[in-house]
Amino acid sequence: MVGIGFGPSNLALAIAVHEHNRRHPDRPVDALFLERQADFGWHTGMLIDDATMQVSFLKDLVTMRDPASDFSFLCYLRDRDRLAEFINHKTMFPLRTEFHDYLSWAAARVTDQVRYGAEVVSVRPVETDGVVTHFDVIAKDAAGAIGTVRARDIVVATGLRPKLPADAVPSDRVWHNIDLMHRLPGLAASDPHRVLVVGSGQSGAEAVAELHTALPRTQICSVFARYGYAPADDSPFANRIFDPRAVDHFHGAPAEVKRMLLDYHRNTNYSVVDMDLIEDLYRREYRERVLGRKRLDIRNSSRVTYTRETDEAVYATVEFLPTGEVEVLECDALVYATGFRPLDLFGLLGRAAAVCERDSTGLPVVGRDYRVRTVDNVTAGVYLQGAEHSHGLTATLLSTTAVRVGEILESILGVQAVAPERVAVH
């Protein structure tokens, strides 16, 4: 098996493989994961010191699949000698930096299965007697050298791509929030007068708070179309949409029910912000009003209609939607917190895309076991992690990762898929 991408999804799968091989040395799975980054890293540009996880630590890489696994977040804490301190903290939501350290700790334990600095550029079907039995996965290293690995099954988990507005031209001054912590030192050194952040989701709000803290002499301007930041729904009934069982319900549902469920529960994940952070931003803005030193400039119900960049600055035309009033703001940087778009699976697969079936909207048809449906003469498998259209809101998140990879491994091993709560790879 070759895994394409080595973020949390395929890391969890590498662990499942590792544990399977430990239990069944007679029936090992030969797995290799190809990752384009030089080392393990999980959204390193958003590792803001005090940002916390938006998922319980119990939804780590293994616990929902096998609570006895020694790859759990609790075992990580024990290894780091912080178990008692974490318990005293009484939180389900670790710091994002701490979770990153957990993921890196786990990745280091399965490093024999990973090749870093290998970007997959295409996949070719390999035929024997008219049947596609394997895939050749073609990857390039940092120096541009091309290599090929043959696999019976491939598991694609390449995550989401940052999305910019169609007319945005990325530059040293104009960038996506995913680069925030990488850009911040340079930005701070330039002693900026004003930074503008577009977007009202969690990332936008985090970027505004971090910039406001890290650049104490800079005006931070937050532009978004909503009237106010909207809170994320993390109430317990709504949270069930992230349960393994919900994946069964979603996958089997008619297309219009799928659409309805995605719409109803968008506010668990998209364009919403943790309530604590909303209140924190409100407190900051109000305090500045009282003190008469307004540095946090919230431009609600507004949008950027035009931008122009010169050597000295980027000029953003901001329209206040209720009145149509416009103002041109001179900024040192323009940060787009405008979300992510799904991976183009077929673009990644190249020639192998031809063996995959598509639905009426052009998206891959993905079975409950995450295997992409292929045309008749194919025995090799394409598995996909991250398909929201087939598996619902959890597909791009961490909630069901542990269970999902157990199901994928079961499928690869040729075992009939069973109800998720009973899946354990032994």
Ligand X SMILES: Cc1cc2nc3c(=O)[nH]c(=O)nc-3n(C[C@H](O)[C@H](O)[C@H](O)COP(=O)(O)OP(=O)(O)OC[C@H]3O[C@@H](n4cnc5c(N)ncnc54)[C@H](O)[C@@H]3O)c2cc1C
- Contacts with ligand X by CB under 6 A lie at 4-10, 34-37, 42-43, 46, 53-55, 119-120, 157-160, 203, 348, 385-386, 396-399
Q: Kindly list the strands in the beta sheet with 131-141, ordered across the sheet, starting from the edge strand earlier in the chain.
A: 118-128, 131-141, 146-151
Q: At closest approach, how far in Å is the CB of 312 from ligand X?
A: 31
Minimum distance from CB of 10 to ligand X (Å)? 6
Q: Which is nearer to ligand X, 318 or 345 (by Cβ)?
A: 345
Q: Write the DSSP symbol of residue 27.
A: S
Pairing between strand 340-341 and 32-35? unpaired
In the sheet that holds 381-384, the strands lie side by side as 114-116, 32-35, 2-4, 153-156, 381-384
Q: Which is nearer to ligand X, 37 or 104 (CB)?
A: 37
Instruction: Give min distance, CB of 344 to ligand X, in A.
Output: 11
Output 318 or 408, the one with its CB closest to ligand X. 408
**Which of 161/294 has CB closer to ligand X?**
161
The answer to whether residues 301 and 322 touch, using CB atoms and an 8 Å cutoff, is: yes
Radius of gyration of the chain (CA): 23
CB of 36 to ligand X, least distance (A): 4
Closer by beta carbon to ligand X, 12 or else 187: 12
| CA trace torsion 144, 36, 3, 122 (10° rounding) | -40
Q: How far is the CB of 294 from ligand X (least distance, A)?
A: 28
Under 8 Å between Cβ of 269 and 232: yes
Distance CA 407, CA 390 (A): 15
- From CA 285, how far away is CA 17, in angstroms rounded? 50
CA max distance for the chain: 78
Shortest Cβ 12–ligand X spacing (Å): 8
- Comparing CB distances to ligand X, the nearer of 178 and 334 is 178
